A and B are shown apart, each in its own frame.
Chain A
């Protein structure tokens, strides 16, 4: 197994608040890795640090052995490290198919490609991916007119469309109704198995993350509290204390 993402001693403070303190972790290629922790424990901050949303104060972040902590968001995304947002972000005035087009990979940077027409092949892929998340019939609707859950599914489909190597999902099931959650988990697992997509998931829903992930990291108060398999974490007294509020 190779480490795709290696986070080493990463710290990040906002003003006086230390959001992340010397966090070290790694994500293996082809795995589904989970990241849990109580509210305000620094999970999203860590995600933002990895994808280059803000500069980090200390430490190093490597993707496929390459140092990326000095790169900006679009550069990192083009390397194949993509994220979705906690507050779902899609292109609200475009229809679903155009949203998918916009998500097409920008890795090859040739000039002519910028002015290419929409290709039939890409359209087919977009429509099949929309079908994959159950949005085929709504593909000509404006994305902003979709329900919140559907927007989440669209954002996931867009991320898959981009063909990244790793996908960082920030609370993929938040705000989705329970019946849809099962469908989403199936699709996440399918994407992982069939397309070899490595997933790194922040999740509050314990049932979801314990079923999905092979390895889980737990943060509390900006520090790495524990890591291990779902079973190990479920029995870890420190994790239970962190969630039940013991300090």
Chain B
């Protein structure tokens, strides 16, 4: 089959391109890192919205929650968080290489684990909701989180948190010396987090690729197609839904931790819980590529991100209007997405069709079922 022939070389090509991209396009490291995060967004949203049929408008909650939990975990072992985030800024801070990377590792673990715990907790209050109620309920959670964090002085409130700076000594440290020739620590930070994002996107992709081949993936599809029937067959729907949401939260939490460190400064409304930008991008990218497919979100995210990066600055303030129009147009005219559209045109590529083979005699068959 065609699929087998192009699969391996394809993955290899993407892996090589992804790894060497910061050396080939040093000026666009941050933009390409953003692309990987966008792919994580689209894949994790699709696991819920596309595969399970639970269209969340508030998945961005875990992104922001992960970001804040990571920030706290990065600061807390070395400084008092309340003093650190004090807007008066009396506290002088500096992080050694050891402190920085210990904190970062701790932060990423906290973001991942904490997001999963939050997903389980919030699962309790949203999984009795279906369809539009679920969408609005999750949207509510994301908005409420942004507002409440903004009022919580301990984590900086609306003023946000300035994250630890990537240590300037790293460019001299042999552990981090990379074959770039002369390089500043700011460049090194960019490349370090670029690779972290790339790794995260790859891990997310292969995780969900594996998941969709298991019984678990099938159960998600069953819940999407008919939840009442799933329950009637004895499927533990709430358990599956909660685990699926936790998986999304896990990867989104880590992406939040990384994004916060790339930006260097986090605040609740625009950076951590941006419901009408990143929050809605997730949905749009998955829809654009084709929801409920593995490659759809990846293709949708790539396409959307490239178009956005190229055209955004030329739209002179009209970009958000264009975004809204894009949502409306996609939803109204192109809901099946790119992969879905191909699937409609060429179902046989996806193994859908009548099989002309026979399976022996019926009597024989009946005998075998009895086991």
Contacts and interface: CB of A to CB of B under 8 A. Distances in A.
Q: Is any CB of A less than 8 Å from a CB of B in the complex?
A: yes
A117 B218 contact: no
A98 B218 contact: yes
A115 B216 contact: yes
Contact of A102 (B222, B228, B352, B365): B222
B234 A106 contact: yes
A89 B365 contact: no
Given A94-B222, A116-B214, A105 B369 contact: no
Contacts of B317: none
A125 B368 CA distance: 8
Nearest to A134: B362
Interface string A140-173: 1110000000000000001010100000000000
Contacts of A77: 231-234
Interface string B218-262: 110110111011111111110010010000000000000000000
Contacts of B224: 93
Interface string A94-118: 1100100111111101000111111
A157 B224 CA distance: 21
B232 A83 contact: yes
Interface of A: 51, 72-75, 77-78, 82-83, 85, 89-95, 98, 101-107, 109, 113-118, 124-125, 127-132, 134, 136-142, 158, 160, 162, 190, 194-195
30 contacts: A73-B231, A74-B235, A77-B233, A83-B232, A89-B226, A89-B228, A91-B222, A91-B226, A91-B229, A94-B218, A95-B352, A98-B218, A101-B215, A102-B221, A104-B215, A113-B215, A114-B219, A114-B240, A118-B213, A118-B215, A128-B369, A129-B369, A130-B359, A137-B358, A138-B354, A140-B352, A140-B353, A140-B354, A162-B234, A190-B366
Please name the 7 residue pairs, one residue from A and one from B, whose CB atoms are nearest each other, closest first.
A77-B234, A91-B225, A89-B229, A78-B234, A102-B222, A106-B234, A128-B365
Interface of B: 211, 213-216, 218-219, 221-222, 224-226, 228-237, 240, 243, 292, 351-360, 362, 365-366, 368-371
